[in-house]
A and B are shown apart, each in its own frame.
Chain A
């Protein structure tokens, strides 16, 4: 009942905040968001799942009750968490709380609507990461679009209307492609539910039949491609990334934090759950192309970031680069590869959220984010600058930061991988590692110019210390980044437990 309690609390909280007067909304929303955070932390400590929930593992906190009866088919309310979804659940509740805190300064109009939508989005995200029935999962998946559309569209920057509708239509089209691909697969299976473990089991027992003259193998490949494209937009990988910079640049800071920190992980989470867990044989057949997509995303995203002047755009494009590592780790099909990819989802969620918050804090004070407009602000904003530098090092993978563990795992995993013949994966890994160099290049260059050197600020606003709650949010987050860097096993143990059954599908890892 814990998952239902989290969903109920956030949903009720959203309505309470929506109806509350603007003056209280921020504190009320913050207080209410502590409840699901506390709940998910409690769940983390009492977590008792084993294995991968899609592959015969026993999920924690599971409930299953029939929802809609469609003749021979039954849709259920089916929730539960395993080692892959539990860390993402904690990430969601933690980032929501901190994102709400980071909204206190910049959001000064229609506050109750803003915070209500934030809580509503948290509810949807919890649903996405815990749902185990396809249709129920899809409901939450689509739910997420609605609050994000408003968060960008109402509280965003100058081109917010364009960015909001682009995000909305782009990701909705992707969902539809994925929906058609997945259902075409499911219709041929001897199952009469949409519950994901049953579907995964049916696929692995060779249940995929032919659909109107299309052979099972072609159908599986077609479904895989449709789902991959659908999820790739959400991740996003090159060439489906064009909505992301617009959405990020126009979105207000807290929305960017949620977008980069959690919403992008929906895409990689779904790739792992659907494509790489349900159709591992197809994934291996297409591994070459997927690896190319991953490497291109890493390098092209990094190079795009290199070319930007706007701090927020830099971070936005670097997200594309980092998500490329996740894809590379997934396709490797090794314990470190998939485990590292999952760990990278958490790590990147924390670090990119932190980076966006830091940019937001600077913007709150300076009212500009252009690299050329600012110089040497570390003197005036020492803590913010310190955290920003720490976050950047985390991004680059400095040891003792979570980014190091994540990227190290991914590289080790993909280097060892024999999913492609010869040394192809090692070559891909080596090329992808070059992305780190570019990251170091653009982040250090931007840091050096904005934070250090002689003080200069081309802005009408005086550069002063950031507000206390802004600093508190980034300090808390950087502590988590360091904590996970020092002891990755906080999450890595349970991740490995859930990843092992996936590897067993392909013969114990490649």
Chain B
């Protein structure tokens, strides 16, 4: 019997990117948006199906597949996150079909999306700091270009430039951190680092290295202190790309952080020599969620509000690393993974709704959404689901994952962290409901007139909403898989 290679989803994503470029090479002159979007969608859906199938079949979950001399690992966690990336990519390319219809360089656009997705799924499977760095760059470089894709739009280009500069800086910091860790441990493979550092005498060098590596993740996950690119990049980027970056790219940063910090720097050993990174993450979590939420509450533009809310959600997910000091580690980390999965649907959907509004040529402020529900009730109902689910009301599964995170923090004795998170969550209801209020409660302005129903965007938004809602009753498989995958790390 032929066995599929464990990295099949990654191969599929990468191959799809190459096929897209090939299609474009065969007939560079003709416009073929439908074909390109179809190929991208097929490729990402196939990657989703295979990773889902591997998860169900238990591939690598009892005994992880360790490949290439320990540089790559395929286990429950890598498959779980690959499934997230593939789902988000599918939604994004589906929405892009309408959004980029009139732009030049379509094949390059789709190929870059798929390449970034490949990089993300490689990040999920990286088991060595070297592959982590390479995969991170494979994700980042296409992302810079995609943000600046609307090259006649000043906002887009400016956002791309900012993103690139801060990205380059944080990559440098990250690489320097890796070198310091290498200096103390003499290896780059995560599990070997753990055994090497537990007896190191260079605690200061190691601590600095860990801190710098943490900085690299903070950039990718848009956490404080490397968060300030996010509002600019998300606001300036094309709508679907904002969705892609804020959901998938963030999750990719987190999966690496989960793996590196639990395997290479196990808390019990590092706390023993004085490097208590859980406390660092707890502080980061508090600062990130508070800053994200307060900034979001003061925004006048919806997309910028979502950008800050996305920073706030990074803060919630950081609880998963901050609360690892207790005896519920697999539950807490699993809750973080669940939150990232649900977030992959609800946040992607919210940004795609913004993409739809951009497509319709609506303005950017809350007022521009006034009375939109009278014209487009289906899309507005979906957006309402996303907003309430992000706010932690039980119209979608965001409720479950968020409360599991709070519960995990309480269980680890971090009352104050749970209380701050809860206060933030309550505050978030205020600004999320502003969107809902604008759409359903405010009177429409007289100029509001919407006549087109872009199929791709609509299907993507409705699909994201349906999944967000259905995950609420049918959360068991997600929760089960996430907790088992998390348990395998300890």
- Spell out A's residues near B (CB within 8 Å): 66-73, 135, 138-140, 142-143, 145-146, 149-150, 153-154, 160-161, 164-165, 168-169, 172-173, 176-177, 179-180, 183-184, 187, 211-212
Contacts and interface: CB of A to CB of B under 8 A. Distances in A.
Contacts of A68: 400, 475-476, 479
Contact of B393 (A70, A142, A212): A142
Interface string B402-435: 0110110011010100110011011001100100
In terms of DSSP, what is the predominant structure of the interface of chain A? Answer: helix
Given A69-B479, A143-B394, A146-B393, 19 more contacts: A67-B473, A67-B476, A69-B480, A71-B334, A71-B487, A72-B331, A135-B403, A138-B394, A138-B403, A139-B399, A142-B394, A160-B441, A169-B426, A180-B415, A180-B418, A180-B422, A183-B406, A187-B407, A212-B413
Contacts of B430: 165, 169
B393 A71 contact: no
11 contacts: A67-B473, A67-B475, A68-B476, A70-B334, A145-B393, A153-B440, A169-B429, A172-B426, A180-B406, A180-B415, A180-B422
Contacts of B394: 138-140, 142-143
Interface of B: 330-331, 334, 388, 393-395, 399-400, 403-404, 406-407, 410-411, 413, 415, 418-419, 422-423, 425-426, 429-430, 433, 437, 440-441, 472-473, 475-476, 479-480, 483, 487
A146 B395 contact: yes
Find the residue from B395, B423, B476 having the highest chain A CB count within 10 A: B476
Contacts of A138: 394, 403
A70 B407 CA distance: 12
B422 A184 contact: no
Contacts, number: 91
A124 to B, nearest CB: 9
B483 A71 contact: yes
A161 B441 contact: yes
A168 B334 CA distance: 30
B410 A184 contact: yes
A449 to B, nearest CB: 35
B464 to A, nearest CB: 19
Nearest to A155: B441
A166 to B, nearest CB: 10
Find the residue from A66, A138, A149 having the highest chain B CB count within 10 A: A149
A179 B406 contact: yes
Find the residue from B334, B406, B441, B480 having the highest chain A CB count within 10 A: B441
A273 B86 CA distance: 45
A76 to B, nearest CB: 11
A169 B428 CA distance: 9
Contact of A176 (B407, B422, B437, B475): B422
Given A71-B330, A71-B331, A139-B399, A149 B479 contact: no
Contacts of A212: 413
A183 B404 CA distance: 11
Contacts of A146: 388, 393, 395
Nearest to B381: A18
B426 A173 contact: yes
A451 B49 CA distance: 70
A160 B433 CA distance: 14
A149 B434 CA distance: 12
Contacts of A71: 330-331, 334, 483, 487
Contact of A184 (B395, B415, B423, B476): B415
A111 to B, nearest CB: 14
Contacts of A143: 393-395
Find the residue from A67, A164, A187 having the highest chain B CB count within 10 A: A187
Nearest to B480: A69
Given A68-B475, A69-B479, A183-B406, A164 B422 contact: no
Nearest to A177: B422
B483 A70 contact: yes
Nearest to A185: B410
A267 to B, nearest CB: 17
B395 to A, nearest CB: 6
B406 A187 contact: no
Contacts of A173: 423, 426
A19 to B, nearest CB: 10
Given A142-B393, A184-B410, A150 B440 contact: yes
B429 A164 contact: no
Contacts of A177: 422
Contact of B331 (A70, A150, A183): A70
Contacts of A69: 476, 479-480
A434 to B, nearest CB: 37
A66 B473 CA distance: 11
Contact of B426 (A150, A153, A176, A211): A176
A149 B331 contact: no
Find the residue from B423, B479, B487 having the highest chain A CB count within 10 A: B479
Given A183-B407, A183-B410, A168 B429 contact: yes
A143 B437 CA distance: 17
A71 B399 CA distance: 19
